[in-house]
């Protein structure tokens, strides 16, 4: 596992950091395992409590590119011996997980302390509150719990004169798709190209007669962008299920006889007709991204037009990705130059490596 230079501004711009925080047994590690490791929710019951900070690089696709830091609930990272400023300085989002089935007064106190300290170090952090384990609550209790936590958390900030801090709240559970949708919203805020991706999706659906379109990261089922029409949870769940079906069938029938190949490639495509005159249409965009569309059956009769528009959309996505990679390479180069300019421990400036041509070798 590589160690990044936390004082390097270029490293955090290229790969932003997401912190998972909360009290013990609030479900932080389970969330990470279900979303990014495809662990079955029931298997998380056997996970041991996290006793050290776990860092994981997530680089599944062209745009899903960040680090997740899972913090044990028992660690007091505000202890004087712990340099919390170093961590918050390079953070893009802080996810604070609250167990909705537990007494959350202690969690709210911890949330307030964490948010206020982090904001002083880095005012640009996105603060995301996961009100977790709501699968055990009734619909009315979910709404009541969210309203109470929302009110108390914002009142605490107002009492401290910090009304300008914005907290985003999500009801989540690992036993349904709510945790994937919540993580999608968090990740989207860390993608600088999001407005461009949304605009491309809007152009695509308006010219193709499509009801709804998602750009999915196939591995994690996080959707990194969608068009401007509202997201319906049932539609999102159907799209997630479709990705699972396509990958599972491809793993069985899509590989070569010798077992080589990949279950998802440029030939991947699927059509599922639902019994309500709606068609689900999946197409490969890159080896990690899929476009999943909701189309009315009468509109899908113009499949040739949809495929042509999709070809244009895919080309535009590739161009956006190429621009992003140029920026990444440029920032890495600048970061390398900055490091070479820093003085060595004895105070002398670092000397760049210079290759000198030898006249004897090149007469």
Which residues contact residue 186 at a Cβ distance below 8 angstroms, ignoring those fewer than 6 apart? 18, 93, 95, 126, 128
- Do 209 and 235 contact (CB within 8 A), yes or no? no
Confidence of residue 339 (pLDDT cuts 50, 70, 90): low
Res 221: pLDDT: 86
Asked if the domains at 17-190 and 193-322 fall in one CATH topology, the answer is no
- 167-226, pLDDT tens digit by residue? 999 999 999 999 999 999 999 999 888 999 999 999 999 999 999 999 998 888 889 999
> Would you list the domain boundaries of the chain?
17-190, 193-322
- 36-83, pLDDT tens digit by residue? 888 889 888 888 777 778 888 876 556 777 889 888 877 776 677 677
Reported pTM: 0.81
Which residues contact residue 67 at a Cβ distance below 8 angstroms, ignoring those fewer than 6 apart? 15, 16, 17, 18, 55, 56, 57, 58
Which residues contact residue 79 at a Cβ distance below 8 angstroms, ignoring those fewer than 6 apart? none
Cα–Cα distance measured from residue 304 to residue 298, given in angstroms and rounded to the nearest whole number: 13
> What is the CATH code for 17-190?
3.40.50.300
Share of the chain above pLDDT 70, in %: 82
Is pLDDT above 90 for 324?
no
- Do 216 and 284 contact (CB within 8 A), yes or no? no
State the fold for domain 193-322. Answer: Beta-Lactamase (3.30.450)
Res 4: pLDDT: 39
Residue 257: CB atoms within 10 A of its CB come to: 6
Q: Of 4-18, 87-101, 122-136, 332-346, where does mean pLDDT reach its minimum? A: 4-18
DSSP per-residue codes, 83-113: -HHHHHHTEEEEEEEEETTS--HHHHHHHHH
């Amino acid at each position: 596992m590589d160690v990044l230079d936390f004082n390097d501004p270029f490293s955090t711009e290229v790969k932003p950091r997401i912190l998972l925080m909360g009290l013990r047994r609030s479900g932080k590690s389970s969330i990470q395992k279900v979303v990014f490791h495809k662990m079955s929710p029931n298997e998380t019951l056997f996970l041991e409590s996290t006793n050290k900070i776990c860092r994981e690089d997530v680089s599944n696709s062209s745009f899903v590119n960040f680090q997740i830091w899972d913090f044990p609930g028992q660690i007091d990272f505000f202890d004087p011996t712990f340099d919390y400023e170093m961590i918050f300085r390079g953070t893009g989002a802080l996810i604070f997980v609250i167990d909705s089935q537990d007494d959350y007064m202690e969690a709210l106190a911890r949330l307030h302390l964490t948010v206020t300290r982090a904001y002083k170090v880095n005012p640009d952090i996105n603060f995301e509150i996961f009100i977790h384990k709501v699968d055990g609550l009734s619909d009315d209790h979910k709404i009541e719990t969210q309203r109470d936590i929302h009110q108390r958390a914002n009142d605490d900030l107002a009492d401290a004169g910090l009304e300008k801090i914005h907290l985003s709240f999500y009801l989540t559970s690992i036993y349904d798709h709510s945790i994937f949708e919540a993580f999608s919203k968090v990740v989207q805020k860390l993608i600088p190209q999001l407005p461009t991706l949304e605009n491309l999706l809007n152009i695509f659906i308006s010219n193709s007669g499509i009801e709804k379109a998602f750009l999915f990261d196939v591995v994690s089922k996080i959707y990194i962008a969608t068009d401007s029409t509202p997201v319906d949870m049932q539609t999102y769940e159907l799209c997630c299920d479709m990705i699972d079906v396509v990958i599972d069938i491809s793993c069985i029938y899509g590989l070569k006889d010798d077992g080589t190949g990949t279950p998802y490639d440029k030939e991947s495509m699927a059509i599922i007709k639902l019994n309500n005159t709606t068609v689900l249409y999946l197409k490969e965009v890159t080896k990690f991204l899929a476009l999943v569309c909701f189309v009315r059956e009468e509109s899908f009769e113009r499949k040739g037009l949809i495929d042509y528009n999709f070809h244009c959309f895919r080309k535009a996505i590739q161009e956006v990705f190429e621009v992003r990679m140029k920026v990444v390479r440029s920032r890495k180069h600048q970061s390398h130059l900055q490091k070479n300019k820093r003085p060595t421990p004895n105070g002398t400036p670092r000397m760049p490596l210079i290759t000198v041509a030898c006249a004897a070798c090149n007469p």
